Chain A
Amino acid sequence: MSEQPRISRRKFVVGGGAGVAGLAGAAALGWNAGKDEAPASADGLPAPVRLPFHGTHQTGITSHAPAAALMASFNLVADNRDEVRAVFKALTEEFDTLMSGTPVPDRGEHYPPLDTGSLGTNPPPADLTLTLAIGASMFDDRFGLAARKPRELFTMTKLANDRLDQTRCHGDLLVNISGDSPDVCLFALRQVMRRTRANLVLKWMVEGFNRREAPKPGKAQVRNLLGFKDGTANLDPSSDALMGEHVWVAQGDGEPAWAVGGSYQAVRIIRMLVEQWDRAQLGEQERIIGRVKASGAPLGEQDETDDPDYEDDPRGDRIPLDAHIRLANPRTKATEKNKILRRGFSYSRGFDPAGRLDQGLAFVSFQRSLDDGFLAVQDRLSGEPLEEYIRAEGGGYFFAFPGVQRKGAYLGQALLA
């Protein structure tokens, strides 16, 4: 009953005929977004492609764990709904242009060039995605949208272990960008900002990365900065059934009609106290997470993809009852509805005044219900031993729009109609 469809059955070709592999969760190499299969590069990683902008859902929610990513949160300066509409249209056009790799026109030597040029004249395929979400503040009294607020959306409040820095929280709009390298993401950000300067004022941003290893059957590719494999038991984003069950808002959910096909996005900028963590015994680290550090297997099991089998360990002798994975997903029938799609990335932002590295996880989860998803999981995690080594410093709750299905339509169109 607690069996998880943890492994993607999706098959793909690895270069050189090395074979066929199925990958778990966030590690799945995302040909789940309707793009063509791509040949692998020399290091065994699939070659980057152009991901489609148009679709039922925004592509960047279910594409594979990005090698590079950033989130930029903006305050929206607009006097009325028409101005908001113009901004959403401009963002839609820019996202489409960037994701499709459309080169910008040459305006000659007297004008500033229309793009930054940092990717050369023809932007190469780079797994680029841009995804737009909005915060609860969009539903305040400015644009007359209060009655259309997704019913579970609210401004993130402080939790027990948080040290929230208000200058790194919330925002009217959240632009998620991911790609195969940091310069690609920064290029996209600069183009988006150029286009929308009259209305979007940057509030905070976080940039980061995921280590990607050559795919092996049934293994997560990513490790986070605590050194543990991340994404092993994540929902498989290539499974339409799982996404429909846990990620996309559906008709009948009691949500406003415009939100159907969209998803709640929880963002938590979680600092890791890495120096302290690096001094913790391996055994303690593994008991805190509930998995073997090297292999990613649940404690007492062999393989990364093995079931942690909590029924067989009711007192937590093998996997402590307060281990991160056990609290996050007790794998009972009752907690089935709490499953979330994680799509975070690691970040590093230098060091603090005490000389400690300022690193962490830009945690992102998408879910059909904020209450049943992130909030329920976070609630169970409250007080977990991992908290000694982490603290949330920023983030916010957002709602990612449904996809744009055809040219001429735009993100948020139904919300503003």
Chain B
Amino acid sequence: MPSTTTRRLAAVAIAAGLLMAGCAKDDGSATRTDCSSGSSAAGGSSAAGGSSAAGGASADCGTGISKDDVAGSTDDPLVQKAVDGYQTYVEEQVNGLVTDTKVFTDAVRAGDVEAAKAAYPTSRQRWERIEPIAALIGDTDGAVDSRAEDGVKDTESPEVTGWHQLEYDLWVKGDIADSKDLADGLDDELQKLQAGLPDLKITPLAVAKGASELIEEVSEGKITGEEDRYSHTDLWDLNANVEGAKEATTLLQPAIKKADPDLAKKLDTAFVEADEALAPYKDGNGWKSYEDVSDSDRDALKAKFSALAEMLGDVPGALKLS
């Protein structure tokens, strides 16, 4: 889902116009941002109060990278190698995303509910691996990954487009006869994303931040089961976030090992532990329903991912990235 954090991840030197487009959707009226959800939770009912576990998601809307960071570069050849590798990775993911998603949208257009349901989580994998970066190109994030804010906008509001609207049609309405336009729209947006790739120039800081913001994504939406609240396929997304973060980190690891061997070691361990925490919920090639995750395992996931986020927060410092 689009979050302010990702929107602020402006450490990617892309055309200024695209940057502005990314900011312009900050009106956020139809979409759920973590800033707005934070304030609405605090706004009254005791059930949603910040003192309960449910209200505890602490999205720090002030984090992320400002436009000042756009012009980053590096003298460290190890870092440069990571940047090049990550650029290639993002391109691969976006290209694959268009094809993966077409399997899903084709099923929707064919009116095949079961096939569409099966293709829904797989279609999102590549998106979730690179979301903080991809969300910077054009207005993609808002168009493909927004969700109706409960009680503010109807889930069937025409302003809400993309995966989660289709998720609602599939799992709640159980009727996709009228969903063809949504499917077409999703394809179009992702093609626009693909077309924006040549303008994407990734900076060293964006690689590091990309990793930590993917883990933030986990803490913001997935760990609460909010992201895929109808299909409960959150673990697919969550795992994809981890894969994306791991890719960026792995690319940076040679540089981190040189700068701060201790941090490098801790990161390796933390990723292994994150995988271990997820392992019990693997189901063939996919993932079990998030509803199957016990409370104590949700705690374990929260702990592992928060620890990982703290460590990743030190990577730009260790590498002196700016």
Interface residues in A176-233 by Cβ distance below 8 A to B read: 194, 197-207
CA distance A203 to B295 in the complex (A): 11
Chain B residues closer than 8 Å to A43, beta-carbon distance: none
Map CB proximity to A onto B301-322 as digits: 1 under 8 Å, 0 otherwise. 0111011011001101111111
Does A387 count as interface, using CB distance less than 8 angstroms?
Answer: no
**Interface residues on chain A, size class:** 20 to 34
Indicate if the CB atoms of A111 and B314 lie closer than 8 Å: yes
Binds A, one of B25-33, B38-46, B121-129, B181-189: B38-46
Chain A residue at minimum C-beta to C-beta distance from B270: A198
B53 touches A202 (CB 8 A): yes
> A110-B322, A197-B310, A198-B303 known; A352 and B46 CB under 8 Å?
yes
Tell me how many residues of B have a C-beta within 8 Å of chain A: 31
Contact of B304 among A107, A198, A204, A206 (CB under 8 A): A198
Q: Is the CB of B56 within 8 A of A202?
A: yes
**Which of chain B's residues have a CB closer than 8 A to the CB of A168?**
51-52
The reply to whether A352 and B300 form a contact with Cβ atoms under 8 Å apart is: no
- Roughly how many angstroms separate A112 CA and B42 CA in the complex, as a whole number? 27
Taking CB atoms, residues of chain B closer than 8 Å to A350 are: 42-46, 49
CB neighbours of B314 from chain A (8 A): 111-112
Across the interface, name the chain A residue whose C-beta is closest to B319. A110
- Which residues in A have their C-beta under 8 angstroms from that of B43? 350
Q: Are B299 and A77 in contact (CB under 8 A)?
A: yes
CA A199 to CA B313, docked complex, whole Å: 18
Residues of chain B contacted by A205 (CB below 8 angstroms): 51
Which among A110, A165, A207 has the greatest number of chain B C-beta atoms within 10 A?
A110
Q: Is the CB of B296 within 8 A of A75?
A: yes
Contacts of B7-54 to chain A: CB distance below 8 A = 42-47, 49, 51-54
Given A168-B52, A205-B51, A352 and B303 contact (CB-CB distance below 8 Å)? no
In whole Å, how far is A224's beta carbon from the nearest beta carbon of chain B?
19
Known interface pairs A110-B322, A202-B56; A349-B317 also in contact (CB < 8 Å): no
Chain A residues whose C-beta falls within 8 Å of the C-beta of B56 in the assembled complex: 202
B231 CB to nearest chain A CB (Å): 25
Q: Specify the chain A residue showing the minimal Cβ separation from B303.
A: A77
B312 CB, min distance to chain A CBs, angstroms = 11
A352 touches B316 (CB 8 A): no
Which secondary structure dominates chain A's binding surface?
mixed
Question: How far does the alpha carbon of A108 sit from the alpha carbon of B303 in the complex, in Å?
Answer: 27
Give the complex CA separation of A109 and B321 in angstroms.
10
In the complex, the answer to whether B306 meets A198 with C-beta atoms within 8 Å is yes
Pairwise interchain contact B300-A77, C-beta atoms closer than 8 A:
yes
- Smallest Cβ distance from B284 to chain A, in angstroms? 27
- Contact of B317 with A111 in the complex, beta carbons under 8 Å: yes
- A17 contacts partner chain B, Cβ-Cβ < 8 Å: no
Please determine whether A197 and B303 come into contact, CB atoms closer than 8 angstroms. yes
Q: Does A358 contact B (CB under 8 A)?
A: yes
Question: Residues of B contacting A198 with CB < 8 Å?
Answer: 303-304, 306-307, 310
Tell me whether B306 and A197 are in contact (CB under 8 A). yes
**CB atoms of A207 and B310 under 8 A apart:** no
Given contacts A197-B310, A200-B303, A205-B51, contact A110 B316 (CB under 8 A): yes
Beta-carbon contact of B44 and A351 below 8 Å = yes
The answer to whether B317 touches A108, judged by C-beta atoms less than 8 angstroms apart, is yes
Pick the most buried of B43, B54, B317: most chain A CB atoms within 10 A of its CB: B317
Q: Is B299 in contact with A201, judged by CB distance below 8 angstroms?
A: yes
8 A Cβ contacts from B265-322 to A: 296, 299-300, 302-304, 306-307, 309-310, 313-314, 316-322
Return A64 CB to nearest CB of chain B, in Å.
25
Total inter-chain residue pairs, C-beta < 8 Å: 75
Once bound together, how far apart are the Cα atoms of A194 and B54, in whole Å? 20
Residues of A contacting B320 with CB < 8 Å? 110
Interface set, chain A 214-261, CB cutoff 8 A to B: none
Contacts of A351 in B (CB 8 A): 44-46
Q: How far is the CB of B209 from chain A (nearest CB, A)?
A: 12
Q: Kindly state whether residue A167 has any CB partner on chain B within 8 Å.
A: yes
B46 touches A358 (CB 8 A): yes
Q: Which residues on the B side are within 8 Å of A202 (C-beta)?
A: 53, 56
Question: When chains A and B are docked, how far (Å) is the Cα of A75 from the Cα of B302?
Answer: 11
Interface string of A94-129 (1 = CB under 8 A from B): 000000000000011111100000000000000000
**Is A283 an interface position by the 8 A CB rule?**
no
Residue of B300, B302, B306, B321 contacting most chain A CB atoms (<10 Å): B306
Contacts of B296 in A (CB 8 A): 75
Bound together, the chains give a CA A77 to CA B299 distance in angstroms of: 7
Indicate if A353 sits at the interface (CB-CB under 8 A).
yes
Report yes or no: B53 in contact with A112, Cβ–Cβ below 8 A. no
Instruction: Kindly list chain A residues whose C-beta atoms are within 8 Å of the C-beta of B316.
Output: 110-111
In the complex, residue of chain B having the shortest beta-carbon distance to the beta carbon of A75: B299
CB-nearest residue of chain B to A108: B317
Q: Which of B47, B52, B56, B320 has the most CB of A within 10 A?
A: B52
Check if B51 sits within 8 Å of A197, measured CB to CB. Answer: no
Question: Within 8 Å CB of B322, what residues of A?
Answer: 109-110
Separation in Å of the A183 CB from the closest CB of chain B? 16
Contact: A197 with B307, CB < 8 Å? yes
> With A107-B317, A112-B314 as given contacts, are A349 and B303 in contact (CB-CB < 8 Å)?
no
A351 and B42 CA atoms in complex are apart in Å by 10
Q: Looking across the interface, which residue of chain B has its beta carbon closest to that of A271? A: B46
Question: How far does the Cβ of B275 sit from chain A's closest Cβ, in whole Å?
Answer: 15
Among B46, B52, B300, the one with the most A-chain Cβ atoms within 10 Å of its Cβ is: B46
Determine the distance from Cα of A200 to Cα of B320 in the docked complex, in whole angstroms. Answer: 30
Partner of B317, one of A110, A167, A199, A204: A110
Shortest Cβ distance from A362 into chain B, in angstroms? 10
- A379 vs B190: C-alpha distance when bound (angstroms): 65
Closest to A194 in B: B310
A350 shortest CB reach to chain B, Å:
5
A108 — which chain B residues lie within 8 A by C-beta? 317
Contact A206 B51 (CB under 8 A): yes
On chain B, the residues within 8 Å of A75 by CB distance are 296, 299
Residue of B nearest to A168 (CB): B52
Closest A residue to B53 by CB, please name it: A167
CB distance from A123 to the nearest CB of B (A): 21
Name the 7 nearest CB pairs between A and B, nearest first: A111-B317, A198-B307, A197-B306, A77-B303, A110-B317, A201-B299, A358-B46
A/B interface sample: 8 pairs, CB < 8 A: A77-B300, A77-B303, A110-B320, A112-B317, A199-B303, A202-B56, A351-B44, A353-B46
Given contacts A110-B320, A198-B304, A353-B44, 8 further A-B contacts (CB under 8 A): A75-B296, A107-B317, A110-B321, A110-B322, A165-B52, A197-B303, A198-B303, A199-B307
